[in-house]
Structure 1
């Protein structure tokens, strides 16, 4: 192990120039707390809370200034810029009394660069991935779990994998020597919820293409799709207003598991469980759709619709029912949830080791089995499958991330649908976390203080814990799956295991700054320089973490001055805003950039004025022309075309 530690230390030194200092990285307590928040939001979160809280109960609690997420400091100005302290201004009134990084608003990488293979070939990324092999080996060495990690990038699909342990930890190595690999199957529990939302998006697209009415969208009202859905008397307005998006974002006000885990009192909770006292022996109950609907119709809402997120497996059961009903109406069939997912998702994505329902005989040898009590052989009723019934593998989930969530042109859904899907829906007041449809979203702050969303979806059933996460602004995602090797007694005593939540954060802490550095190197190499022709002169620089057009003259006109004068035509002459340059924001369209102010998140001026041909004054195209030369195109000045010379 000493040799392993030495190699890890050397790898850390090798990548140190690409990563923020170690004291700025995610603290262990934050990993634990974030992991707990996600784990408690899984299919049987209460059971997992029992397992997870114990080992971490005595950790020290860092101050606010030490709270780091995905490799960077939470932007409290007093922590990063001591000279900037709160002065009683809820909203700053000028740039001068706010920390500089708040006002930069650094654009994310241009979407058209996310699939550039140079990213994963960059030395910073190569070094980070080498470090991850050592980090994961050291972090998982003390445990006998079946554990798997895959990392996927938009440019190449899977770029990294790590496997440890045996498929069956409940048997001896002699009887079951098979080791975990990319095809090993884990019960992914609540990650299933992401598939249910994906199926709703697929049906929406299919209905539009078929001109089927009514179309299905996330904004569709549940009762219009599933008329048999009812709430108790007195909730008629809420009953009529719940949408599919409300269900998918846990904002429908429904209880977590209606009809489950009903006790006489807290005295019914016995820990550690003894024979006959385990609350989860019959969880979830084997109910039909109609039985579950009857229970829902007799249960008051706990929140107003849209008030706050309130994790609800029952809500996803309803969403699954709505998806099944709409599918069969659209196609005139009578298929169940299992068959629909197989046809619409698993088969098109070649997810050949994914399924719901009973384990197919030919896949049983790939199914990981924990050592302690588990739900591996439990077959959920169709009413509960949408909340957490899927089994899947690292390779299959890699296909989902690459082909649907990261590729420039996603499979199964449209780019605009994906943007709707990957969006925070409710922001919590901690400033770090939010809820999406159905993502749990966390703030990631890069070394240049730009703030982005990381999208997580966790899943947990007894002795199995799973996590997928994606960083769409930087084009990559992570899969981490664990089948726990501890015995029941060891778990009850607080034994530790390879936790996919905390390890996912560790991966992002190492990888995100490296990918950030790689993208910036490409921006500098491809776009920074002097552009010259008989049409004019332009200078593109990289400053304050952004591509900036620093000087721009076309056909004898100072374009930056003209942009200021465009503003003055509306508000009168003021101090110049573009005299220090204009930042370039990459769009999803190849080579197309939009210009805006250097500071602040200005977004109201795009296409504010256009040429008669429809070209916005803020639009600049930088790409290779027919001759293979990098050229800057600007139509508003008589189709000015400048060539990069340095």
Structure 2
């Protein structure tokens, strides 16, 4: 597979199609194509979505994506390529009203019955319903998948790239896939007609970082089960695990503070590619690329090719940020993370293996990811490799020390297994559920109120139709010729992988040829699928739990209102339970307003059938399990179970058992 020259010009193609007026908004950054008020009338957070009547020629944002790993230049440059016009709305900056009233924290007014809906903590679906098979049978979901098929065909019709997409839901694994293009883009269609499919292999570059963090979590779990000490967690200090790690003397204190989690969230203060791309003058940066001439990308693979060389380089270079101060993309940090987990694994398992071999044993083989690997391409898999038509690095063997930062190859089928078994299933493989919950969290929120950083997630804010705000967790990667994204929306139980390979030649790219943008396509998918799944879950919750429940001496009315499963009334043995909840509050400070006059919101827990009641218009943490029965049953706990085919509500504090009519 010969290297063919590549430009690194990648474009957004956001021909988004609405399937309903309840489409969510997934925010991308300060510059977007269209805006509408979302939080209040005085501010607008910009959305990246298209209308039906805008046509296919959306304003394209050119960005240089993700040369994102230890030897890479992950640049995200958004460049406007077309001007305003009838089908190209003027690019707008994030807007504000220009009027500041001095209220840093905006709170809803005193009348709870008319509080603005955007200030309510609307709960996600109960976690125990995320794998409900009825979701995939819901008409809204079927319609969304059909609409998505048309959208993807339209959006990718005119380019030459290879593309593989998988969508996964917790109820059944892969629910949708889309493939287009040929495997051997650097050869003629007559010589190499084979098309890509779910087993076609792409270099996923910086998506490897997810596996670098996962290896640490897996080792932590294995050590815990073996009662092995010292314990390994993301809070473990790097020098405790990898004592040979050093920084210059003036940073001795900072070196001792760095944790594995800070390496995994780019908050270690280490530089991006330390000692890799070294230039004498900016004149060394040549554009357009000269055929046959090495670029910085090819040249810097010759540095830090061993663990010792990398550690020596790091020991001679200053930190660029204070430890923990801010996320600053560091491929070097992930190479160091790989060395640390490798060192710990040697002690835990008393065996010496490369990081690639360890990940194969600990992660890939147990998950059945048989087309995923790091290092040299196995002979048996060469037939499945996707080769770009532009300059590329498909056949480059990355120095093993840098595999954790970006050395992995994978397929849409294998990434679907990863998403389903690790990030979406009720009982994840390899790690505990609590580990996963902690893993899928943002660590640092950027001041744009849209993006955030996790370990190693790159998250975007999504506003759902009920005004609830969530993070969708992404990780992207790219090397010349190939780009990738995986993403997951854990609260709604689904995930997406998008892999692409450039079909244009270098000369076509230099002339401005469009290429596939996996991040833009991921947004298209989420903006189509998320509202449909949201509607499906609301339908299931309503069908299962809303209604009137009665017993010989009690009644409860439960409704689904404004995104809440709401207890409108519950009386047992002549006692109004909602009034008693108010009286508990009054005991703390005298008689106040009736918090529960309009009902109590039911928040699903991670445990089947168990809900906790909270005041409407507040967040889940203000529950009332402060008061419990002798058995530990809280005032706020309501349990639903099917008994003889009928949904039954149990409430121990009043020995209540009410059956849905």
Equivalent pairs counted in the alignment come to: 615
In structure 1, the residue corresponding to 2:299 is in which secondary structure?
coil
Residue by residue over 1:592-619, the C-alpha shift from the partner in whole angstroms, topping out at 9 and shown as x without a partner, is: 0001010122513342111111011111
Residue 643 (1) aligns with residue 654 (2):
no
Paired residue for 1:259, among 265, 275, 278?
275
Residue 280 (1) aligns with residue 293 (2):
no
In structure 2, the residue corresponding to 1:490 is in which secondary structure?
helix
Instruction: Show the counterpart of 1:247.
Output: 263
Instruction: Show the counterpart of 1:387.
Output: 405
Unaligned stretches of 5+ residues in structure 1: 1-8, 66-75, 80-84
Distance 1:644 1:421, change over 3 A: same
Shift of 1:415: 0.4
Equivalent residues of 2:70, 2:332 under 8 A apart: no
Residue 523 (1) aligns with residue 541 (2):
yes
In 1, distance between residues paired with 2:259 and 2:312? 19
Residue by residue over 1:271-310, the C-alpha shift from the partner in whole angstroms, topping out at 9 and shown as x without a partner, is: 1122535211223335100000000000000000010000
Within-5 A mapping of 1:386-535:
386-535=404-553
In 1, distance between residues paired with 2:24 and 2:311? 51
Instruction: Show the counterpart of 1:135.
Output: 151
Distance 1:115 1:329, change over 3 A: same
Instruction: Show the counterpart of 2:73.
Output: 46
Distance 1:150 1:382, change over 3 A: same
Instruction: Show the counterpart of 1:68.
Output: none
Distance 1:471 1:554, change over 3 A: same
Residue 16 (1) aligns with residue 20 (2):
yes
Shift of 1:623: 2.1
Shift of 1:30: 12
Instruction: Show the counterpart of 1:351.
Output: 369
Shift of 1:20: 6.0
In 2, distance between residues paired with 1:37 and 1:105? 37
In 1, distance between residues paired with 2:83 and 2:336? 36
Distance 1:295 1:188, change over 3 A: same
Shift of 1:509: 0.7
Within-5 A mapping of 1:269-348:
269-274=285-290, 275-276=292-293, 278-285=295-302, 287-348=305-366
In 1, distance between residues paired with 2:624 and 2:362? 38
TM-score w.r.t. length of structure 1: 0.91
Instruction: Show the counterpart of 1:64.
Output: 94
Equivalent residues of 2:613, 2:623 under 8 A apart: no
In structure 2, the residue corresponding to 1:308 is in which secondary structure?
coil
Distance 1:569 1:41, change over 3 A: farther
Q: After alignment, is 266-275 or 517-526 more displaced? A: 266-275
Comparing both structures, which one devotes a greater share of its residues to helix?
A: 1
Residue 366 (1) aligns with residue 396 (2):
no
Instruction: Show the counterpart of 2:200.
Output: 184
Paired residue for 1:113, among 125, 129, 144?
129
Shift of 1:572: 1.7
Shift of 1:23: 7.2
Equivalent residues of 1:338, 1:355 under 8 A apart: yes
In 1, distance between residues paired with 2:633 and 2:332? 50
In structure 2, the residue corresponding to 1:620 is in which secondary structure?
strand
Equivalent residues of 1:40, 1:49 under 8 A apart: no
In 1, distance between residues paired with 2:171 and 2:613? 26
Paired residue for 2:116, among 74, 77, 100?
100
